[in-house]
Structure 1
Amino acid sequence: MKFDYNLPVNLIFGRGRVNEVGQIASKYGSKALIVTGHSSTKKSGLLDRTITYLKNANIYCIVFDKVSQNPLTTTAYEGAQIAKNKKCDVIIGLGGGSIMDCAKAIAFICKNDGDINDYIFGRLKSDEALPIILIPTTCGTGSEGNGFAVLTNRGNGDKKSLRCNAIVASASIIDSECMMTMPKSILASVGFDALCHCMEAYISRIAQPISDMISLQGIELIGKYLVPLYEGSDDPKAWDAISLASTFGGMAINTAGVTLPHGMEHPASGLRNIVHGKGLAALIPVVFEESIKECPEKFADISRRLGGKDENDCVEKIKELLERLDLTTTLSKQGIKEDDVDWMVENCFKVSSAGINYHPVTFNHEDIKRMYLKSLY
């Protein structure tokens, strides 16, 4: 057995630890650009609290609050220009996965010339970015635990990850109390995304023992705690568990990558700006049904951690979970049209070639088109 493992992420985990952000940020700079969304961190008071903690540590703050779901490369450029103009030396991402990904991209653009799409597609390379501090407010993408930043190019609909160690956070503060104000619909969607990260990393062709261990623990935690939280539990330990599982998912895909479900979802949300977790909910059952034969023992492991018996009831257990989370859906319900499918197939091979290659079953263009069509209805 041979494998490599490298993930230089500094995780600061625990309830109430967001109040350490000033002390932590002061190690990396004195002028911070806080990247956040339009409203949630303002309504919860978290943004004001974060600003206070930073000011108490003598850190000057500027807020960039224009990030939406499926963040655009143009938004990252806008934020980077503000950071450059104000001479910011540390970037703080305060919010869900879209915010954290955009914060990473802003930190990268601040230190690198040229078109970020060239870096995303590997035509240019760099290992430089401003220091990044991430504070997740949703338990989904696991962006706090990896070197990925998923961005959408508005000009052509490409949705693809910038990937490099330069955008691994200098510090990630994972405080489950920051997540407790999430609307339940968002909790369901992001929690399922985290589960998909763990499942896809586990079945990946490039999975290895450490990523397997992290993935399985993440699946087990989500299988045990996500539904109770969605149904109204306020157990702090459950929030800790789901927060940790999300981070585990991000760490796992940093090493083992995502596979075909994410590969097929990115063209859908890149084209129609759909909610990522709902796109995955439409695709996962269809893709997994056609994949179990290649590695039944791994799907059996997944099933058992979701309350099933073996590989034969794995997809059924996932469907049951989706039903309990009110996430049972189709691509057509998310706004995808049959006329979109041919474009999505081609775009899947353009932006998601790695995910296609990492998937345990080799699927061609016609296979992927068939699965898209099956997921529509």
Structure 2
Amino acid sequence: MKFNYHLPVNLIFGAGKIEVLGEETAKYGQKAFIVTGRNSTKKTGLLDKALNLLEKSGIEYVVFDKVAQNPLTTTVEEGAALAVQTGCDVVIGIGGGSIMDASKSIAFMVKNKGDISDYIFGRIYGETALPIILVPTTAGTGSEGNNFSVLTNPKNGDKKSLRTNAIYAKASIIDPELMMTMPKSIIASVGFDALTHNIEAYISKASQPITEIQALYGINLLSENLIKVYNDPKDLEAWEKVTLASTLGGMVIGISGVAASHGLEHPVSGLKNVVHGKGLAALMPTIIERSFKSSPEKFANISKILGGKDENDCSKVLGKLLEDLNLNITLGEMGITHEDVDWMAENCMKVSMASLKNNPKQFNCEEIKEIYHDCI
């Protein structure tokens, strides 16, 4: 048995931990480039709280609030240029997965010249980035626990991740209390993304003993608590467990990767800018139905955790969870048509080959087209 497990992130976890933002940032710089979204952190008051905490620690700051869902390479380029212009020496990402991913890439591009797509596709490499502090406000992507940054190129629809150890956060402040203002629809979609991360890392051909243990624990936590926070967003104890599962999901995909569900979803949201968790929900039951025979023991374990009997009903029990979360949705309901399938399948083969190879059953292009058609 041989494997590597490398995760140089300081995870600062617990209710109220946002209070250490200023002192933690001061360890790495004196002028922060704050990356956030256009609305949510302002409406909840979190952005103002963060600015006050920085001021108390003597940290100057610049706020960049132009990141939207499915962050764009062009937004990253704009942010990096502003960070250089204003002389910032540390990047803070406050928000959901899109914000954290954009923060990582902005920190990277401040220190590396050229087109970020060249780094994403491995045509050139960079080894450095500004120090990064992450403050997640959604329990879904787990971006605070890995070295991924998923971006969409608006010129061609490619949605693919920058992956480099340079963008591991110096510290991730994971405060479950920050999750409690999410609307129910967002709780459902990001929570399902977290579940998908744990499931895919567990079934991945690149899985290893440590990630399997972590992923199974994450699946257990979400199975028992995701519906609780969906039905009662004020349940802090359940939020602690969902948030931990989300971070674990980010950690395990950072080591073992994702599989076919993410591989097929990225062309969907790259093309139509759909909510990532909804795209996964539309695809995953069908993908499991076509994959479980290639890893029956693991799918049986997943099914039992989710309330099923064995590998044969894994897709069914997952579908029941999606119904309970009001996520039983099709690609067609998100604007995908049968005419889009050829492009998506070809793009999947272009941007998601590593994810496809991780899946217990590796699908060819024609099988991918069949899955897309079935999910419309």
Q: Secondary structure at the match of 2:12?
A: strand
Q: Is this contact kept in 1: 2:180–2:233, CA < 8 A?
A: no
Q: Secondary structure at the match of 1:207?
A: coil
Q: What is the aligned partner in structure 2 of residue 231 from structure 1?
A: 231
Q: In the TM superposition, what whole-angstrom CA distance separates every residue of 1:146-179 from its partner, at most 9, and x where no partner exists?
A: 0000000000000000001100100000001111
Paired residue type of 2:288: F
Q: Secondary structure at the match of 1:156?
A: coil
Unaligned runs of 5+ in 1: none
Q: Distance in 1 between matches of 2:306 and 2:234?
A: 21
Q: Distance in 2 between matches of 1:334 and 1:192?
A: 17
Q: What is the aligned partner in structure 1 of residue 355 from structure 2?
A: 355
Q: Secondary structure at the match of 2:94?
A: strand
Q: Secondary structure at the match of 1:91?
A: strand
Q: What is the aligned partner in structure 1 of residue 281 from structure 2?
A: 281
Q: How far did residue 48 of structure 1 move?
A: 0.2
Q: Distance in 1 between matches of 2:209 and 2:14?
A: 26
Q: What is the aligned partner in structure 1 of residue 320 from structure 2?
A: 320
Say whether residues 1:342 and 2:354 are aligned partners: no
Q: Secondary structure at the match of 1:92?
A: strand
Say whether residues 1:189 and 2:214 are aligned partners: no
Say whether residues 1:158 and 2:119 are aligned partners: no
Q: Distance in 2 between matches of 1:341 and 1:85?
A: 42
Q: Distance in 2 between matches of 1:299 and 1:339?
A: 32
Q: Distance in 2 between matches of 1:292 and 1:307?
A: 16
Q: In the TM superposition, what whole-angstrom CA distance separates every residue of 1:272-308 from its partner, at most 9, and x where no partner exists?
A: 0000000000000010000000111000111111122
Q: Secondary structure at the match of 1:299?
A: helix
Q: How far did residue 114 of structure 1 move?
A: 1.0
Paired residue type of 1:132: I
Q: In the TM superposition, what whole-angstrom CA distance separates every residue of 1:65-107 from its partner, at most 9, and x where no partner exists?
A: 0000000000011111111011000000000000000000100
Q: Distance in 1 between matches of 2:127 and 2:301?
A: 37
Q: Is this contact kept in 1: 2:76–2:106, CA < 8 A?
A: yes
Q: Distance in 2 between matches of 1:342 and 1:150?
A: 23
Q: Distance in 2 between matches of 1:114 and 1:146?
A: 24
Q: How far did residue 4 of structure 1 move?
A: 1.1
Kindly report which structure 2 residues correspond to 1:129-168, keeping only aligned pairs within 5 A, or say none: 129-168=129-168
Q: Secondary structure at the match of 1:223?
A: helix
Q: In the TM superposition, what whole-angstrom CA distance separates every residue of 1:169-226 from its partner, at most 9, and x where no partner exists?
A: 0000000111100001000000000000000011000100011011101100000000
Paired residue type of 1:71: P
Q: How far did residue 235 of structure 1 move?
A: 2.0
* Percent of aligned positions that are identical: 60
Q: How far did residue 233 of structure 1 move?
A: 5.1
Paired residue type of 2:130: L
Q: How far did residue 257 of structure 1 move?
A: 0.3
Q: Distance in 2 between matches of 1:209 and 1:365?
A: 31
C-alpha distance 98-349 of structure 1, shift in aligned 2 (>3 A) = same
Q: Distance in 2 between matches of 1:242 and 1:127?
A: 33
Q: What is the aligned partner in structure 2 of residue 109 from structure 1?
A: 109
Q: Secondary structure at the match of 1:290?
A: helix
Q: Distance in 2 between matches of 1:77 and 1:170?
A: 22
Q: Secondary structure at the match of 1:173?
A: strand
Q: Distance in 1 between matches of 2:365 and 2:236?
A: 46
Q: In the TM superposition, what whole-angstrom CA distance separates every residue of 1:233-288 from its partner, at most 9, and x where no partner exists?
A: 52211010000000000000001100011000000000000000000000000100
Q: How far did residue 3 of structure 1 move?
A: 1.1
Calculate the aligned-residue CA RMSD, in Å: 0.6
Q: Distance in 2 between matches of 1:82 and 1:52?
A: 22
Q: What is the aligned partner in structure 1 of residue 5 from structure 2?
A: 5
Q: What is the aligned partner in structure 2 of residue 51 from structure 1?
A: 51
Paired residue type of 1:338: H
Q: Secondary structure at the match of 2:32?
A: strand
Paired residue type of 1:266: H
Paired residue type of 2:128: E
Q: Is this contact kept in 1: 2:181–2:233, CA < 8 A?
A: no
Q: Distance in 2 between matches of 1:131 and 1:361?
A: 39
Q: What is the aligned partner in structure 2 of residue 19 from structure 1?
A: 19
Q: What is the aligned partner in structure 2 of residue 240 from structure 1?
A: 240
Q: Secondary structure at the match of 2:172?
A: strand
Q: Secondary structure at the match of 1:189?
A: helix
Q: Distance in 2 between matches of 1:122 and 1:305?
A: 38
Q: What is the aligned partner in structure 2 of residue 127 from structure 1?
A: 127
Unaligned runs of 5+ in 2: none
Q: Distance in 2 between matches of 1:122 and 1:285?
A: 32
Q: Distance in 1 between matches of 2:228 and 2:59?
A: 39
Say whether residues 1:270 and 2:275 are aligned partners: no
Q: What is the aligned partner in structure 2 of residue 292 from structure 1?
A: 292
Q: How far did residue 61 of structure 1 move?
A: 1.0
Q: Distance in 2 between matches of 1:234 and 1:33?
A: 31
Q: Distance in 1 between matches of 2:132 and 2:118?
A: 22
Q: Distance in 2 between matches of 1:248 and 1:14?
A: 14
C-alpha distance 233-177 of structure 1, shift in aligned 2 (>3 A) = closer
Paired residue type of 2:19: N
With 3-12 and 229-238 compared, the bigger mean Cα shift is at 229-238
Instruction: Give TM-score, length-normalised by structure 1.
Output: 0.99
Q: Distance in 1 between matches of 2:279 and 2:233?
A: 26
Q: Distance in 2 between matches of 1:156 and 1:236?
A: 42
Paired residue type of 1:245: A
Paired residue type of 2:266: H
